[in-house]
Amino acid sequence: MARILLVEDDAMIREMVQLTLELYEHEIVCATTGVEALERARLDAPQLILMDVGLPLMDGYEATQRLKADPVTRGIPVIALTAAAGQEDRKNALAAGADEYETKPIDFDRLMAKMETLLQR
């Protein structure tokens, strides 16, 4: 079991991901904006962050860059989540500091495998 920060502005997607991850006995903390994600990451000390890239106020790319620049949060693995499946989107997510990348709709078997790998580091 791990504490996961789920950063997603779409309520339906957030609820689906949260319920699925709770089935795997993870503790889920949620944020709906990049700004809130920065605050929650510092306050809740998650072991992994699932970061939507299309967020209001501050997109997931910038939020990830800021998380990775902060000595308190830089070690937290980030998996970027996006509906865009192009190579450029993957490149941008990794360039921003994301450790992994997953497209929507989410393949939960693949996501869980990526999460497991990052949590074991």
For residue 83, name the pLDDT band (cuts at 50, 70, 90): confident
Does 89 have pLDDT greater than 90? no
Report residue 19 as tokens: 């319920």
- Alpha-carbon Rg for the chain, nearest whole angstrom, is 13
Domains and CATH numbers, the chain: 3-120 (3.40.50.2300)
Residue 33 · residue 55 · CB < 8 Å: yes
Q: How large is the average pLDDT for residues 45-62? A: 95
Q: pTM of the full predicted structure?
A: 0.96
**Sign of torsion over alpha carbons 105, 108, 113, 117:** positive
Q: How large is the average pLDDT for residues 60-67? A: 97
80 vs 89 pLDDT, higher one: 80
